[in-house]
Amino acid sequence: MTRRLTRKTASKTRSKQPLTSPVRHWLTLGVIGSLFILMAGRALFLQVFNADFLLERGNAQALRTIEAPAVRGMILDRNGQPLAVSTPVEAVCADPSKLYAAPESWKPLAKALGMKYATLKKRIKKNKDRHFVYLRRQVLPEKAEQVMALDTDGVFLQREYKRYYPMGSVTGHLVGFTNVDEKGLEGIEFAFDDYLRGHPGKDQVVRDASGHIIEHVSNLKRATDGQDLVMTIDSRIQYLAYRELKRTVQKNKAKSASAIVVDVTNGEILAMVNEPVFNPNDRSQLRSSRFRNRSVTDNFEPGSTVKPLTIAAALQNNYVNPDTVIETDTGRMKLARYTIKDTHDYGDLSVSHVIMKSSNVGAARIALQMDADDLWSLLNGVGFGRLPQSGLPGEAHGSLAHHSGWRKVKQATIGYGYGLSVTALQLAQAYATLANDGVSVPLTIIKRDSDVSGKRVISAKVARQVRGMLELAVSDKGTARQARIPMYRVAGKTGTARKTEGKGYSTKRYTALFAGLAPVTRPRLAMVVVVNEPSEGKYYGGQVAAPVFANVMTSAMRLLNVAPDDVPAGALWVAANTTGADK
C-alpha cells in the first residue's frame, strides 16, 4: 500500500534537510573575508597610525647603548721604552636570566672559562633575575674565541683593556699597577691616574637574542684616550741597579734594600729600585707588604753619611777650614752621661781626615762648635725634614727636630748622623746638592718640559772642598775603597748605622749605607745605596753598600757617555795610537 504525505508533513521534512553546497560556500567565504578585512585594518593601523610606537618597541628589544672604552695612556721611560701599556682583551659577559634556563650549558662554559663549575653555577643563580653579569674579565682574544665557539645563548663579549708592564718587577715599585678597571692603585699609576685615564664614549649597537653584537649603528659619544706620561727613568740604568741590589741582598741575606741614581745637573731620577720586589703582571704577588717604595717611604738614621754635611755647615759659616785640627782624644768623648766612640784611636785629625777616617768624635766636636741654627739650616736646606716632592706617592718627611729644642747631646749626635731620620731619596738629594756645587735642584720622576732653576744652599767653594774630602774617603786609606770605579774619580761616604732596639741601639742589627758621586772633576751622577740588616757576617757600608755603587756606576758612566777624568796620560797616548793603527 502506497503511503501518502500530507503538505504539512512534507514541509517539516524539507526544513530538516542540510543547507545546499552553494550556500555553505558563500558563507565560508564571507567569514574569511571578514577576518581578512579585520587583519588588514589592524596592520594598517599599526604600520601607519602607530608606526612610532612599534619602532620604539623594536629598538628597545634590539638596540643597546654600550660604553666605548678609552685607552689608558702609556708610561714611558726617558728614551721612549714602554713601562706600562694597555692591550686589548675581552670581558666575557652574560644574561643570567637566559643562562639560568639552560643548565646543560654550564659545565662546558665553566671549562672554557677556566672556572670552577660550582663558582659559575653560584654566580648564575645569584643573578638569575638580572640581565647582565661579568663571567670573566680581561680574557685573551684566543680564549674568548673558544668561549664563543660554544654558542651559548646569553653569553657575549665586551671589549676592554688590560694593563701590561714590560719590565715587570724591575720597575714595579715605581710604576705601580691598576685594578681590573684600569684605575691606578699604586706608584705612578696612582699618582697620575687622572692624567693617564681616558674618558669612555658611548656606542649604539644591535644585539641578537643571545646578546651578541651584530651591528654597530652609531657612535653617540667619542671616547677620549688618556695621555702618555714620560718618566725620567733610564731603563738600562734601572735594570743595572735592580740586578746589583738583588745580588747584594741575596749575598748578605739582608732584610731589604734601596738604591737611587740621580742626574745632579737637572734633578732627574734615573733609577730607583727596592728589595724585596713584586711583579705587577702577576696579581698573585700583589701583597701589600711588597708594594712599599722604600726609597721614599722608609726612614732611617743616616749615620756617617751626614758627616760631610756637618762639615759643610762648619765651613760655610767659617767655624773651621779643611786643615783645622780636631782632637779626637783616645777615640772617646764623654758628653753628659753618654760616651761617643770611634772604632780606633785616631788622635788629632784635620777636618779633611775626619771624613776620611769617619771619626764620630771629630764630627761631634765640629758640630758642637757651631750655633745649632747653622747646622739645622744647612741640613734643612739640602732637604732633610721636608718632602722631596718628586712626583712619587707616599713620600716621607723624615725627622729633623727644630734646633730650638736641641740640647748639646742632640746637636753632637746629629753631627755624626744619629737623632734624625731621612729617606734614601732625601739623602740622594743632599749628595746631588754637593755634586752640583751647592745648588739644590728639585728632584723629579717625571720628565720636565724645561729645566728648573735650583736654590743655592752651599757655596760652590765649600761644595768643592767637601767633594775633595769625600774623594779621600774612597782612597786606599779611607773607608770606601770598594766604591772606586775604573777611569773615574769617585767621591763618597760610607755609613754603618746601628738600629734602635728598645730604649737603646742594637749591637747586631745595622743599616749599611753608601752615598757618592762621580766623576769628581765634573759630577754627573749621585747614587745612594741602603741595605737594611745584612746578616751574613759583613755589615759595614764599605763592605756591603759601596760595591753596589761601583758596579752600577761603572756601567752607567759608559751608557751616558760620561768622559773619564782619571785616565793616565800614557793610557790616553796608547788609546789614540791604537785607534789609528786599527784604521
SS3 352: helix
- Residues 250, 214 share a domain: no
Could you tell me the pTM of the whole model? 0.83
| Alpha-carbon gap, residue 425 to 528, rounded angstroms | 8
Q: What is the pLDDT of residue 210?
A: 57
Which triple of cell numbers denotes residue 126? 645569584
Query: For the chain, what is the domain count?
Result: 2
- Enzyme catalytic residues: 304
Say if residues 493 and 430 touch (Cβ distance below 8 Å): no
Residue that is last in its domain, among 214, 230, 246: 230
Residue 428 resides in a domain: yes
- Residues 260, 218 share a domain: no
- Residues 493, 401 share a domain: yes
Residue that is last in its domain, among 230, 256, 278: 230
Residue 49 resides in a domain: no
Residue that is last in its domain, among 182, 206, 230: 230
pLDDT digits over 404-451, tens only? 999 999 999 999 999 999 999 999 999 999 999 999 999 999 999 888
Q: What is the pLDDT of residue 361?
A: 96
In 3D space, the residue among 180, 168, 202 whose CA is nearest the CA of residue 72 turns out to be: 180
Q: What is the pLDDT of residue 5?
A: 44
- Residues 314, 415 share a domain: yes
Q: Three-state SS string across 34-95, please?
A: HHHHHHHHHHHHHHHHCHHHHHHHHHHHHEEEEEECCCCCCEECCCCCEEEEEEEEEEEEEC
* Owning domain of residue 479: 235-569
- Residues 486, 396 share a domain: yes
Supply the CATH number for residue 555's domain: 3.40.710.10
| Alpha-carbon gap, residue 426 to 386, rounded angstroms | 8
Q: Which residues of 20-37 are buried (b: 16+ CB within 10 A; e: fewer)?
A: eeeeeeeeeeeeeeeeee
- Which parts of the chain have pLDDT scores under 70? 1-21, 41-62, 66, 207-216, 285, 569-583
- DSSP states along 235-289: HHHHHHHHHHHHHHHHHHT-SEEEEEEEETTTTEEEEEEEES---TT-GGG--HH
Give me the torsion for CA of 246, 247, 252, 254, rounded to 10°.
Answer: 0
Give me the torsion for CA of 52, 56, 59, 63, rounded to 10°.
Answer: 120
Which triple of cell numbers denotes residue 113? 672559562
Beta bridge partners of 75: 84, 229
Supply the CATH number for residue 204's domain: 3.90.1310.10
Q: Which amino acid is at 363?
A: A
Residue 92 resides in a domain: yes
